[in-house]
Amino acid sequence: MTATVVTATQKSEIMTFVEGIFESSKISNISGIIIELYSGRKVKITTTEVNNSVIVYADNIKMGTLTPSESKAYKYVFQQHYRKGMKKNGLTENELFIKNAFKSEDSVKFHEA
């Protein structure tokens, strides 16, 4: 299996879409995607594109993967990454932010872990 990694100069449609989700929330005048959460804590969002999918990380912790949808109802599917204790202890602040960001998009079907 060969992975296709897209460089920063060749942004794909799916990567442009993911970056657009965070555009309105990110702190301006800072390189990269830095978001200030409701608590005032700052979180760094990073993305990696592999084989037409985008893996989303918050503070270097995998939050989930966005892939093109096979359904005509949605353009993309976001699969939340499972973390041990997630069901019992609830979502972290980062996980909740990512969930809300992707669930608010009409073209994304959000699958909880």
Residue 54 to residues 35, 38, 60: CA-CA distances in angstroms? 18, 25, 14
Element (H, E) at 7: none
Tokens of 77: 């599917």
Given this model, what pLDDT does residue 64 score?
96
Given this model, what pLDDT does residue 29 score?
80
List of residues 6+ apart from 43 with CB closer than 8 A:
34, 35, 37, 58, 59, 93, 94, 97
Output the pTM of the full model. 0.85
List of residues 6+ apart from 106 with CB closer than 8 A:
none
Name the residue with tokens 């929330």. Answer: 25
- At residue 7, does pLDDT exceed 80? no
- At residue 3, does pLDDT exceed 70? no
- At residue 90, does pLDDT exceed 80? yes
- At residue 4, does pLDDT exceed 80? no
Q: Which residue has the higher pLDDT, 88 or 94?
A: 94
Please say whether the beta carbons of 73 and 106 come within 8 A.
no
